[in-house]
Chains A and B, each alone.
Chain A
Amino acid sequence: MEGMEQWKVQVENWSSQLRELLHQFLQHVHQIPPAQLYAAIAVLSLTTLFLLSIRLFRRKKSNTIVLTGQGGSGKTVLFYQLRDGSSHLGTVTSMEPNEGTFILHSEASKKGKIRPVHVIDVPGHSRLMPKLDEVLPLAAGLVFVVDALDFLRNCRAASEYLYDILTNASVVKKKIPVLILCNKTDKVSAHTKEFIRKQLEKELDKLRASRSAISAADIANDFTLGIPGEAFAFTQCQNRVTVAEASGLTGEIAQVEEFIREHVKP
């Protein structure tokens, strides 16, 4: 009880001190001419607005490019080609995403200020799929890498992966452009991009049927793909889907760079 009493006295002391301070402050304010006061307030609010708008502006124009696709399709090589212009000693299956903010290697020699690109290479192993959901909301563009050499064997798995991406909530809502990149085209037996596009469209069309049957139980896919009743084509997507070719190993990645610069302005 005694402690409480003491406490109360102390609190009262403090409050009286505070009141005094407030009084002093108000007096001080009254002494300042009102014009100055308004000016100060205006400056303050303007700065906050400015800072806020910068943040909003920044958020809208994200500079993140996400590299995704099945394991073994060559995402990590592509990442290092973009960054360093070389694939170094080669790569093995990634266990963690590679991430970096850099100016593209091919543009390093250019003069003037270039906006760096934030590239994330998400591992393709399906156990690491949840990682993709974390980075998709940030993306300004998405590169879906397909192995053109060993395409037919991986076709179904790849299209399932692509289906999940194209029906992902943030991809649909933000209309994130997707580039389907047929990698390893330096090899002679690689499939052409037209063939791959057609095969993927065909597979996605089938997937659409089976997934919509199961959709009531599947919580992950909230959006349906394409126009019902018509054969699926990538042009039906709300976001832009384009197809390109590249060869990560030999460094022919001009089309990827073009895509990146289209969506992350220099």
Chain B
Amino acid sequence: MLEQLLIFTRGGLILWTCKEIGNALKGSPIDTLIRSCLLEERSGAASFNYDAPGAAYTLKWTFHNELGLVFVAVYQRILHLLYVDDLLSMVKREFAKIYDPKRTVYHEFDETFKQLKMEAEARAEELKKSKPVGKPVSNGKRQGHGQKGGYDGGNKDRSEGGLANDGGDGDGEGEGHKMGNGYANGNHIGAKDSKMTAVVKGKENTSSNNGAFDVNKLQKLRSKGGKKTDTVDNKVPKVDTKKKITKKNRVWDDKPPPTKLDFTQTVDGKGNGNDNVHDVEEVHGESMMDIEEVVSSESESEEDEEVGKESKLDAKKKGWFSSMFQSIAGKANLEKADLEPALKALKDRLMTKNVAEEIAEKLCESVSASLEGKKLASFTRVSSTVQAAMEEALVRILTPRRSIDILRDVHAAKEQNKPYVVVFVGVNGVGKSTNLAKVAYWLLQHKVSVMMAACDTFRSGAVEQLRTHARRLQIPIFEKGYEKDPAIVAKEAIQEAVRNGSDVVLVDTAGRMQDNEPLMRALSKLVNLNNPDLVLFVGEALVGNDAVDQLSKFNQKLADLSTSPSPRLIDGILLTKFDTIDDKVGAALSMVYVSGAPVMFVGCGQSYTDLKKLNVKSIVKTLLA
């Protein structure tokens, strides 16, 4: 049964609710829907799942943009109500007729609604009889595991696991699980493994090669590269000859050279000065986090040529006069067809800026949903209206949802006599250690005592690398060598920090691919055992579509593998290699959109000072330029 049907304005006033079915909802599904879906530019999705203790609802909604109304239907998730979409659109049509902005009470709509509901139910019943299978209203409904709210993209695949093949997705993951447990220890390549190769190997031979450097396997890994579509169904392991060398698979040599390597000498030459921070500062100067960035405020009226052309073409079809008239008088109502060309151009433009396709698509849908039915103002073109709406949406997405004032949090932790723990996570070679050192440097400048914890007990040389940074910055480092459980090392490091009174502990972890089950499990353990104050995902600004996969899988794994009921997810993003991408800043948008976490730092160079804050305005400008 339908649990609730609400009609409210975009301003938030409830105009009408269904009284007879108005049993109290558990939790606050409507507010959650608005906060975590509609305001996050996800209104293009088809439905929203809400979980509260004792209740699981699915919510569906539709907008009437001209009048600024929102219609939301709530029903129990186990019931696949077929008539909800139908009912919503009918309610929308009927309610629009009687809506008057000055009125706030609509008692007479009760009757109309009763009728509409009966009609809709009857129609659904008929449909069921004619098609016994019944076309589900939202096909491909996969619920987010353990997440509080999941999004159903209608026909589109969900982001988690959605990139994989449709049918094979589920069992592929399951088998990957089993296999991952099989060779959890010792095997370096095995640990770099992904679910595909895990399955393939499982069918080939399970027992062999432990710890050996298997060339075959490496090649398979490479061939896997970006193609994730052919997953489980190729039973015979094809040893591909084409070597698609993707960055991700090569662990050992894509760590950026951490600044200058001969750092030790300068410091050693100086002897052991007491005022360490100042020494270091003298050498490197102020961190760029603290230097104000002068944003060149160019004229923002730079219209995009492509979009212009597109709409001009459109205009030509309709004739010069009518389009002129329309532009003066203001077009009656925007329809989907009017928006399509402008949106398509916009989507293409976003994709040239390295925004993941999935994200660009969803954003455009959401913008389209917010514009459809609106009146076009006089003297404006469709393209400029769409652009303005997109700009607003982008600013909204990139504006941090919570405060990103780390120093404030550090001071708060200090008052409680607790060290503030930051864990750096990420895939291989994105610059975790380098940027950890940059963050340490920035914190040092603000008179915060920092300690490093070398919890990358996996990659050779990682501890030494961090030790070099520590010596260079003259800060203590906690290390326990290799082959230790990183979670335990981190725990001991935090205890050590409590003893020696450090304010901040920066925990470096091993880089791991998002599909690597054993390593993800280890990470989950580290996070859950130590409950850090900040889980910082380090991501390259260079990635395109993979950004979505990385972040969503990291979040998913942290949620799935955690034993506590409220798992820790990624709290913030550190975007590295930002100086190498020119105007292709799309990764920032993709990452923020997928995780909902803000970009806290931007790494933009090789020296300790090259750490900045994200400038939302300039990013938006670059994205739309």
Contact = CB atoms under 8 A, between A and B. Distances in A.
B160 to A, nearest CB: 23
A51 B12 CA distance: 39
Contacts of A88: 13-15, 104-105
Contact of B11 (A90, A98, A127, A211): A98
10 closest A-B pairs by beta carbon, nearest first, are A94-B12, A210-B408, A98-B11, A93-B34, A96-B10, A89-B14, A216-B290, A76-B12, A210-B407, A127-B396
A216 B30 CA distance: 40
A213 B407 CA distance: 8
Nearest to B613: A217
A200 to B, nearest CB: 15
Interface string A191-214: 000000000000000110111011
A206 B446 CA distance: 15
14 contacts: A88-B13, A89-B14, A92-B14, A92-B30, A95-B12, A121-B11, A127-B39, A127-B401, A130-B396, A209-B411, A213-B407, A216-B292, A217-B290, A217-B291
Interface string B385-404: 00000000001110111110
A92 B292 contact: no
B540 interface: no
Which of A94, A95, A96, A214 has the largest count of B CB atoms less than 10 A from its CB? A95
A69 interface: no
Contacts of A49: none
Nearest to B370: A95
Interface in A52-72: 71-72
Given A121-B11, A209-B411, A95 B39 contact: yes
A24 interface: no
B56 interface: no
Contacts of A93: 12, 30-31, 34-35, 39
B586 to A, nearest CB: 20
Contact of A126 (B14, B38, B104, B399): B399
A220 B593 CA distance: 23
- Chain B at the A interface: SS class: mixed
B40 A95 contact: no
Interface in B94-131: 104-105
Contacts of B400: 126
B239 interface: no
Contacts of A80: 13, 104
B31 A127 contact: no
Given A91-B14, A95-B12, A216-B292, A130 B412 contact: no
Given A92-B31, A211-B408, A214-B407, A76 B13 contact: yes
B306 to A, nearest CB: 27
B237 to A, nearest CB: 47
B285 interface: no
A127 B8 contact: no
A84 B105 CA distance: 12
B408 A95 contact: no
B292 A217 contact: yes
B17 interface: yes
Interface of A: 71-72, 76, 80, 84, 88-98, 121, 123, 125-130, 156-157, 160, 206-207, 209-211, 213-214, 216-217, 219
B162 interface: no
Given A89-B17, A216-B292, A95 B34 contact: yes
Contacts of A129: 399
Interface residues of B, number: 42
Contacts of A76: 11-13
Which of A92, A94, A207, A214 has the largest count of B CB atoms less than 10 A from its CB? A92
Nearest to B16: A89
Interface in B569-618: 613
Contacts of B407: 210, 213-214
A92 B6 contact: yes
Interface in B241-300: 289-293
Contacts of B13: 76, 80, 88-89, 91, 98
Contacts of A123: 12
Nearest to B63: A95
B14 A213 contact: no
B411 A210 contact: yes
A206 B12 CA distance: 34
A222 B12 CA distance: 33
B408 A128 contact: no
Contact of B395 (A90, A96, A130): A130
A214 B409 CA distance: 12
Contacts of B305: none
B613 A94 contact: no
Contacts of B140: none
Contact of A206 (B68, B70, B104, B408): B408
Given A95-B34, A210-B405, A214-B405, A84 B412 contact: no
A89 B17 CA distance: 8
Given A72-B31, A126-B400, A213-B446, A92 B408 contact: no
A71 B35 contact: yes
Contacts of A217: 289-292, 613
B412 A206 contact: yes
B70 to A, nearest CB: 8
Given A88-B14, A128-B39, A207-B408, 11 more contacts: A76-B11, A80-B13, A89-B15, A89-B17, A92-B6, A92-B30, A94-B12, A127-B399, A130-B399, A210-B407, A210-B410
A94 B10 contact: yes
B441 to A, nearest CB: 14
Contact of B12 (A91, A126, A207, A216): A91
Nearest to A215: B290
A211 B14 CA distance: 39
